[in-house]
Chains A and B, each alone.
Chain A
Amino acid sequence: DAGVIQSPRHEVTEMGQEVTLRCKPISGHDYLFWYRQTMMRGLELLIYFNNNVPIDDSGMPEDRFSAKMPNASFSTLKIQPSEPRDSAVYFCASSKHSGQVYGYTFGSGTRLTVV
């Protein structure tokens, strides 16, 4: 079991550029979550999917953010255009069920820097 795999680990981009973050959840997990970590707000839920269907995207900050899950083994989080305030660590997580009792499994994160 390779765990939740995120790529890239680090991304530095210029303001205005498009950024795509990628996630491969654990096989068999039917929930997938995108979180963003900042000092002020901690771990902030952006969007989550159940069986590849977006369930709640109320945490997506603006229309510049979009997420897709075309199949059970892959998801993307896209920011277009990127801004310096988007700089943060973005985590993907997956779980077999809703995760209340045993929690989610997180990936190692993507550190995004927008200059």
Chain B
Amino acid sequence: DQQVKQNSPSLSVQEGRISILNCDYTNSMFDYFLWYKKYPAEGPTFLISISSIKDKNEDGRFTVFLNKSAKHLSLHIVPSQPGDSAVYFCAASATGSSNTGKLIFGQGTTLQVKP
């Protein structure tokens, strides 16, 4: 059972436009959410996180939105750049659980930004 789902395997956008990557989760105990970026032949790198007490967190060109009632979060990249082309993973954690250190990841979405 996939507790964190990224239903779009791939996304292609034009340079300068907005990229929107989506993620859904099923476990209502999740209270921290993170996005990671992964380039080929490298490990994933942390991008941005959000606590469930917020509905938005912004860091430069990257903004994460959280809709708890819909159990949905999204990552917006504005403006998109060719260097943003990578695989993006959504992850979630339940800090109140016994496995507080555990991050559950989605399947990933491959973003291609065309020049």
Contact = CB atoms under 8 A, between A and B. Distances in A.
A41 B107 contact: yes
Interface size class on chain A is 20 to 34
- Main secondary structure, interface of B, reads loop
B100 interface: yes
A6 to B, nearest CB: 8
Interface centre among A4, A42, A45, A99 (most CB of B within 10 A): A42
A63 B33 CA distance: 31
Contacts of B41: 108-109
B32 to A, nearest CB: 4
Contacts of A106: 43-45
B46 A102 contact: yes
B43 to A, nearest CB: 3
Contacts of A35: 105
A97 to B, nearest CB: 8
Contact of B101 (A31, A40, A43, A101): A31
Interface of B: 2, 6, 32, 34, 36, 41-46, 49, 51, 89, 91, 93, 95, 99-108
Given A100-B51, A103-B91, 8 more contacts: A33-B103, A42-B107, A43-B106, A45-B102, A56-B102, A98-B95, A100-B95, A103-B49
